[in-house]
Structure 1
Amino acid sequence: MALVPYVENSLPALSKLHNSSAQFHFANHDLRLAQDWKKLGVAAVVWDAAVVMCMYLELGKVEVKGKEAIELGAGTGLVGIVTALLGAKVTITDRQPALDFLSANVKANLPPDSQGAVVVSELTWGEGLEQYPAGGFELVLGADIVYLEDTFVPLLRTLEHLCSDTGVVLLACKIRYKRDTDFLSMLKQRFTVEEVYYDKQRDIHVYKSWKLPPREDL
């Protein structure tokens, strides 16, 4: 999730991040996501990119039902929860400190008959990737995970490892700085990248990527 400055009540646009919960209606379900900025910071609030990603998934322009999906840097788990409600089998991942919080949100927002469609799992980008099947996911999702340059190389390695040859990566992000466009340039060296959606109100872009075919000269 995105790292942005936050001082309580300093900016009206950010005050919602301090609320103990955030409510949404996606996939014909009312969702209530717990938030805990003081305990977990950026990993425990719902960012606009996650909301826009869910809006895009609901449009039905990417096949979700029946797909093997994985969400990276899930935070509160909104995107993974909505993806499961839309019919995918989802692995929802984040770093270890966020997992209990994430698991609680998943349990609270998925009906009993959907609980089995979701696994919450630890994943630090670029590390321990062997625990996840290479090319094992048809849909790789990330909302507001492009913001720290030190993570770009391990994130790309993770995307390459997880995404199947016929799968797609969906990234929802705000383009804040030159480093964000630098990441997209890095991504284009390994994937075909297309902007498929833009929410002007929230200034969030959604990019769809799929693996480039192998080069014959390599």
Structure 2
Amino acid sequence: MALVPYDSEGIGIQKFHKPQTTYTFVNRTIQIQQDWKHLGVAAVVWDAAVVLCTYLELGAFNLQGCSAVELGAGTGLVGIVAALLGAHVTITDREIALEFLKSNVQANLPHDIRPKAVVKELTWGQNLGNFSPGEFDLILGADIIYLEETFVDLLHTLEYLCSDRSVILLSCRLRYERDHSFLQMLAERFTVQEMHYDLEKDVHIYKAQRRDLREDL
């Protein structure tokens, strides 16, 4: 499957064609390289990532010492911010995007924090054997709900990576009916609640946790 852009619904894609974009999180300037031309959606910063970074910075979750994984990381902005906030982060994407992802991570983390951030390949539903079941406290995803053909593999991946203690945070703009359908699928397997809504950027943040089977009895 090619990493190609999807319909941006008139957002104004000019910002995606900029070779670099700059943010300030955790009192640091973060400069993210973008490469829309060659990697499409995997190499630009989406609003959902910025909203999730802001949410994490506000301290809704204590990331100090937390074991976290970012799915479909793209530019790596969310994983970078999580590492700066004290988490041990595995930042993942498909193989084709890894070198680009690594360059952003290394450029934006000081030397003493770099060991806390590992870039690793993860194709949803395929190479899960490279990870331990339920090994992460926190699973992060920004704008990863957009291709219907990936939904089953994404759900399988979330189930595999989650333990009873794990928290999933998904930041997304609900563009199509299929996006709502994914949330319904998610709610069949996890307890899901909306934690935040950014009105300006039209981005939702959902929290999901493994469902207690006793709830269904």
Q: CA deviation at 1:47?
A: 0.5
Name the SS of the counterpart of 1:165 in structure 2: coil
Could you list the per-position Cα deviations for residues 102-160 of structure 1 after superposition, in whole angstroms to 9, with x for gaps in the alignment?
A: 00000000000000001100000001111101000000000000011110000000001
User: Which structure 1 segments of 5+ residues have no match?
Assistant: none
* TM-score for the superposition, normalised by structure 1: 0.94
Structural RMSD (CA): 1.9
Q: CA deviation at 1:13?
A: 2.2
The alignment status of 1:201 with 2:200, answered yes or no, reads yes
The alignment status of 1:188 with 2:187, answered yes or no, reads yes
Question: Following the alignment from structure 2 to structure 1, what is the Cα–Cα distance between the partners of residues 169 and 5?
Answer: 20
Question: Following the alignment from structure 1 to structure 2, what is the Cα–Cα distance between the partners of residues 136 and 190?
Answer: 18
Question: Following the alignment from structure 2 to structure 1, what is the Cα–Cα distance between the partners of residues 120 and 99?
Answer: 10
Percent identity between the aligned chains? 57
User: Which structure 2 segments of 5+ residues have no match?
Assistant: none
Partner residue, 2:37: 38
Partner residue, 1:130: 129
Partner residue, 1:158: 157
Q: CA deviation at 1:3?
A: 4.4
* TM-score for the superposition, normalised by structure 2: 0.94
Question: Following the alignment from structure 1 to structure 2, what is the Cα–Cα distance between the partners of residues 217 and 18?
Answer: 48
Name the SS of the counterpart of 1:164 in structure 2: coil
Partner residue, 2:95: 96
Aligned runs of 1:1-218 on 2, under 5 Å?
3-5=5-7, 13-215=12-214
Q: CA deviation at 1:39?
A: 1.2
Q: CA deviation at 1:214?
A: 2.9
Question: Following the alignment from structure 2 to structure 1, what is the Cα–Cα distance between the partners of residues 178 and 129?
Answer: 29
Cα separation, partners in 2 of 1:134 and 1:30, compared to 1, 3 Å: same
Question: Following the alignment from structure 2 to structure 1, what is the Cα–Cα distance between the partners of residues 7 and 120?
Answer: 28
Residues 4, 40 of structure 2: 8 Å contact kept? no
Residues 2, 145 of structure 1: 8 Å contact kept? no
**Number of residue equivalences:** 215
Name the SS of the counterpart of 2:61 in structure 1: coil
Residues 173, 203 of structure 2: 8 Å contact kept? yes
